[in-house]
Every structure is written in C-alpha cells, then in structure tokens.
Amino acid sequence: MTDRISKERRSWLMGRVGSRNTSPELRVRSVAHSLGLRFRLHKKDLPGRPDIVFPKHKLAIFVHGCFWHRHSGCRKASNPRSSVEFWQSKFAANVARDARAVQDLEELGWRVAVIWECETRTKEGVTSFLSANIDDRQRDPT
Ligand SMILES: [Zn+2]
C-alpha cells in the first residue's frame, strides 16, 4: 500500500488535530530565539504543561488558540450554532482547566503569561509580548 496523503496534507491535518507545535507556538519560539532567550518546551512536570517555559525568569507561557480557549472579545472565539450545549460544556471545561493550571503554577512560584493565537500573527506583536513579560536586565547574553 502506498501512502496517498501528501506530506503537505499530512502536516496540515496534524496541525488541525494536535495542540502541540502549532504554528502560533512556532512563531513565539522563533521570536524568543531571535531575542536570545533560553527556553524549554512542554514541561510535563509542570501543571497544565505550559507551551514555553523560561526557567531563568520563572515564567511559563501558554500559547492559546482563540477558539478553544475562548479569547474574550475575539472574532475567532465564535460560538458554534449547533450542538450549543455540547460546545458550551467543552469550552467551560477548557477555561476551568486553564484557570486551574495558572493557579497551580503560581502556587509553585511561577509567573504565568498567556499569548493568544491572534496576537502571534506579527513578529512585532510577539516581541512586545515577550518584552513586557521578561525583564531586559535579566536577559541571557547571546
Ligand atoms: Zn484572539
């Protein structure tokens, strides 16, 4: 049997299915890297498995999809018109899980910042987000 799904198609599908290594996250990583910041990914031993962690700054970052994590006031966080109850309970569970992760991380002494998918579209947006959350004076030498 030959594999008929092209590589492009497969990566598109994977991007749709998985919540890890999505392109908004890659954009944040790429900017962090260009700023000379050292980070780690998907720390499994931390509550909520933050997407990007800056150990030196005790900063945990979540890169949230606007739809799934309900970016308030965002166009992308639209409400599906069918199966309303199903979606509402799913969204409520996501939001509750997110809030719980933030609380648990803060209890462990981490600062937590969330960058929304729609804020990762431009390099400038990501840069200002990272600058706002990371003290320049503590920046790692490149
Ligand atoms: Zn948004």
Q: What is the pLDDT of residues 83-137, one digit of tens each?
A: 999 999 999 999 999 999 999 999 999 999 999 999 999 999 999 999 999 975 5
Does the residue 3 lie in any domain?
no
Q: Give the long-range contacts of residues 93-102, CB within 8 A, separation 24 or more.
A: 94/68, 94/69, 94/70, 95/69, 95/70, 97/48, 98/48, 98/62, 98/64, 98/69, 100/47, 100/48, 101/47, 101/48, 101/50, 101/62, 102/48
Which residue range forms the structural domain that includes residue 100? 20-136
pLDDT at 17: 47
The CA 51 to ligand 1 mean position distance, Å, reads 17
State the average pLDDT over residues 32-59: 91
Does the residue 89 lie in any domain?
yes
Does the residue 51 lie in any domain?
yes
Does the residue 70 lie in any domain?
yes
pLDDT at 137: 53
The CA 135 to ligand 1 mean position distance, Å, reads 25
The CA 69 to ligand 1 mean position distance, Å, reads 9
Does the residue 13 lie in any domain?
no
Instruction: Compare 142 and 95 and report the one with higher pLDDT.
Output: 95
Q: What residue ranges in the chain does DSSP mark as E strands?
A: 40-41, 52-54, 59-64, 111-116
The CA 13 to ligand 1 mean position distance, Å, reads 22
Does the residue 121 lie in any domain?
yes
Q: Give 114-124 pLDDT, tens digit per residue.
A: 999 999 999 99
Buried b / exposed e over 36-45, threshold 16 CB at 10 Å, is ebebeeebee
State the average pLDDT over residues 20-33: 85
Instruction: Compare 141 and 36 and report the one with higher pLDDT.
Output: 36
The CA 141 to ligand 1 mean position distance, Å, reads 32
The CA 4 to ligand 1 mean position distance, Å, reads 35
pLDDT at 36: 93
Average pLDDT along the chain: 85
| pLDDT tops 70 at residue 5 | no
Which CATH number do you get for residue 120? 3.40.960.10
Does the residue 12 lie in any domain?
no
List residues bridging with 116 in a β-sheet: 64
The CA 71 to ligand 1 mean position distance, Å, reads 5
Does the residue 47 lie in any domain?
yes
Question: What is the count of structural domains for the chain?
Answer: 1
Instruction: Compare 21 and 52 and report the one with higher pLDDT.
Output: 52
